Chain A
Amino acid sequence: MIDTINQKKEVGKMARNMISLKAGGPAGSGVFTIGAMFARSVQKAGLNVFYTADYPSLIKGGHNACYVRAEPNEVWSQISTIDILVAIDKVSVEKHFNELTHQGAIIFDSDNFDIKEVNLSSRPDILIFPVPMTTIGKEIGDRLFSNVVAIGAICALINHNLEKVYICLENQFGKKKSIGTSIVDNNKKAVKKGYDYIKEKFNVNFKISIEEVKADPTILLSGNEAASIGAIKAGLKVVAEYPMTPSSSILSFMAANEYNYNIVVKHTEDEIAAINMLCGSAMTGARSLTATSGGGFSLMTEAIGMAGLSETPLVIIESMRTGPSTGMPTYTEQSDLRFAIHASQGEFPRLICAPGDVDESFYETYKMFNLTDRTQTPGIILMDKHLSESSKSTKPFDTSKLKIERGKLMTYQQMENAKDFKRYLLTDDGISPRSVPGQPNGLYVSTSYEHYEDSFTNEESYMRIAQVEKRARKLNSITEDEIAPKFFGDKDADLTIVSWGSNKGMILEAMKWLSKEGLKVNFLQILWIVPFPVKKVTEILTKAKKTLMIEQNFDAQMKGLIREKTGIDIKNLLLKYDGRPLDPEEIYAKVKEVMAK
């Protein structure tokens, strides 16, 4: 039998604490639980973790896969190879066995299919571990436990301490009550049975083992979670949102915390209602947020212009997915950059930033609330599916330097003695004092119509010109330091990579390998897009010997923007638009190709 033959194969050198794993199965089979629970458990063993998921837009069936990578050092992204494949169904083996490293392992539910039906003849090195997960699950009481059996089986293979999984199960299910034996106990039993099954049936000597390491505590969370927490830290008070992948988890995160943090969370009838509600709530002084993806953002565009003209600070998270139109709803892309910059008719200042990892999702979201309040204009946080829905471990957020800044928002006390208040007063910095309903002496109309300083409708040219210029001046209040790009690697490099968004992680992974080979590569990450950090980008790119632009779109939108803003044209391009995130291997290969030119 193929499994017994494989197990007896001599196993190569043991690798400690470095693992890359994938779990696959139909939607609804619990594969994400396998990945998420395992990820959390190795985090508890002191490792750094990256977790991501690949799934189609359906509720049951299809093919879902999740991916976990853990190492003692910071892990920035997935890599394209895996050491263990957990397969709930045959499709998962067929799709992913070739991603396995030499002498990698397949753990599969032998109740669901016979692995002999898959032609693995090209990979005789692969170790095969059939586990009757469904049968074991049923023995405990429900086939639903079968995915948890798989976690136990993984642990057995890599000698991972079951206690770490138990803690995760307690955290996850501890609060849920069930009839008779508790859910936690049953899940623990399932893990233990999966573990014992491998240990008893197979003489395991797998190439990877996990041993607990002492490390500073980390938090493991997704871009959406980090951005949500950043918004809450910034004093978020109103959320109006319509669900749309990959932003929907922000709505549920906020709803789950609406009472703890006194946030009014409204699932609206559509995205038009969401953004228009924000124009009302933000005008009333509440820090306000909506989140959506490209389709919903399209519906919001008209009201974004209203926020611009009425000078209403509000924040929109736009998590990009594969477009246009419905596109590939659950896959990643960075093709809304130009759209975000130009969304809505007419000209008005706006703010746009694009976080590249979970830390930036937190800090830049926080900063966005301060800057939109300062400039009294809408702000867009451009994320992408790969950032929104992938989790990474990182240091706990340092909030000691964070300070709420509300710009020229007037307090009740300030307004009590206000005279001749003009909401759209022409000022040197373009920013006018802002009263809110309820305050005395501050009456005005927050208006979508061009207006005089007192907010009354205006169509005369002198005031039109004055108000256009006043609004445009507002962004001058933001310094280049506040919107600085990030720079990684040696100043003197032979190649400069330029990119933005979630590509950051994969680029930093690729740079690890490149630097091991002695190749001198650095990386310029554009973090704030509007306003654009012209000076710093120009300075870095002027000095660069060779440049390579990496983006997840067809039109090289950021490359075009850089050329528009700096006059510098980046010649080498790595563009990807198949909906899948770049792998570090692709970047590594492209860099070598460009450097060899």
Chain B
Amino acid sequence: MTTTVNDVSNKNVIQWCPGCGDFGVLMSIKQALAGLNLNPKDVVIASGIGCSGKMPHYVKTYGLESIHGRSLAAATGVQLANPRLTVIAVGGDGDGYGIGLNHFIQSVRRNVKITYLVHNNMVYGLTKGQTAPTALKGTKTSSTPHGSIEMPINPIALAIAATGTFVARGFAGNLPHLSNLIKAGIQHKGFALIDIFQPCVTYNHDQTFDFYRQRTYDLQAQNWDTANHMEAYKKAWEWGDKIPIGIFYKEERPTYSDELPQDKDLPVALQNIDNVDITPLLNKYY
């Protein structure tokens, strides 16, 4: 059987603004799943809350729409129970780098096999336009009318510092690039961060599709050395007229599940639990 984009599409009414960058991410996910010929029943897409949180309803796979900031924790639970599944987590910048930041850093260092797609639009959309952890210093929003005072989080640098094994950036306005990136992320053995420039057409009038079209360039087109940890970290800070997208850093390391003998033969979720023998446990209490 071959999986097509159609096979992972459903008829649910999409609730994003017309022109939203989320459509690009949605299509890229579908193309990646089809491109890798994954059976929809073996895929789980986990999300948190926000515009991105609706994603599981728009892809015909299993889904887990959790609560704000917790997509990675929920996705990790799926992965621990059955590492044979393909687990994709999606979230926004507020979801992943704000309320859920702890889970983000922990998941990176854990190298749990999850492809994490962050819809980074530098603003809170669904709550109607407040500042985000990735908003540039000085950004005026409804919660920072006098300009944001904080420095933005740099997710690429953060993931590299947290021993990330696959650290990449995509752009929702560059579908072929993004779907290939997601494919590479799914194929990666371990945690794959794909931070995605995903313009919010309603609340962010600075970082627009045009803004990124004019500035982004593909690291892989320049034969970027993805194995150099320190250079990748430096590259993560490049911002201005030229902004890199693509894979910054990549390394092979055992995944969290690789180190668990508990599910070597069969994922724990599939193991028979009918006749557990507790005699050995009780022996020490006699």
Contact = CB atoms under 8 A, between A and B. Distances in A.
B96 to A, nearest CB: 14
B260 A232 contact: no
Nearest to A226: B285
Contacts of A74: none
A438 B65 contact: no
Contacts of A272: 70, 73
B81 A284 contact: yes
Given A232-B281, A269-B103, A438-B82, A445 B77 contact: no
Interface stretch (A10-18, A396-404, A469-477, A546-554): A396-404
The CB with the most chain A CB atoms within 10 A, among B74, B103, B261, B280, is that of B74
Contacts of B221: none
Contact of B78 (A261, A269, A281, A442): A281
B251 interface: no
Contacts of A261: 276
A453 interface: no
Given A273-B73, A285-B81, A439-B41, A446 B12 contact: no
A164 to B, nearest CB: 13
A218 interface: yes
Nearest to B89: A280
A165 to B, nearest CB: 16
Interface string A414-448: 00000000000000000000001111111111111
A457 interface: yes
Interface string A246-271: 00000000000111111110101110
B227 interface: no
Given A269-B106, A438-B42, A281 B286 contact: no
Nearest to B43: A437
Contacts of A23: none
B263 A264 contact: yes
A258 B262 CA distance: 7
A575 B54 CA distance: 49
Contacts of B106: 268-269, 273
Interface residues of A, number: 66
A437 B70 contact: no
B81 A237 contact: yes
B85 interface: yes
Contact of A269 (B44, B63, B102): B102
Contacts of A232: 276, 278, 281
A306 B285 CA distance: 38
A282 interface: yes
A277 B65 contact: no
A280 B74 contact: yes
Given A280-B46, A399-B278, A437 B41 contact: yes
A268 B74 CA distance: 12
A201 B38 CA distance: 80
A259 B261 contact: yes
B149 interface: no
A286 B73 contact: no
A219 B278 CA distance: 13
A453 to B, nearest CB: 14
B41 A456 contact: no
B57 to A, nearest CB: 6
Contact of B262 (A264, A276, A279, A455): A264
Contacts of B84: 438
The CB with the most chain A CB atoms within 10 A, among B64, B76, B103, B106, is that of B64
B66 A276 contact: yes
A234 interface: yes
B40 interface: yes
B282 A306 contact: no
B75 interface: yes
Interface string A267-308: 011101100111111111111100000000000001100100
Contacts of A238: 77, 80-81, 268
A35 B255 CA distance: 43
Interface in B39-95: 40-44, 46, 49, 54, 56-57, 60-67, 70, 73-82, 84-85
29 contacts: A229-B278, A233-B278, A237-B81, A257-B281, A259-B262, A264-B262, A269-B103, A272-B70, A273-B76, A273-B106, A276-B67, A277-B76, A279-B74, A281-B77, A281-B80, A283-B77, A284-B85, A285-B270, A286-B81, A288-B81, A397-B278, A437-B62, A438-B84, A438-B270, A443-B40, A445-B57, A445-B64, A448-B66, A457-B15
* Closest 9 pairs (CB-CB, A-B): A280-B77, A235-B273, A445-B63, A276-B73, A277-B77, A284-B81, A281-B77, A219-B285, A286-B81
Interface of B: 12, 15, 40-44, 46, 49, 54, 56-57, 60-67, 70, 73-82, 84-85, 102-103, 106, 260-263, 268-271, 273-274, 276, 278, 280-282, 284-286
Given A229-B278, A229-B282, A263-B262, 5 more contacts: A237-B81, A277-B80, A286-B268, A442-B41, A447-B64
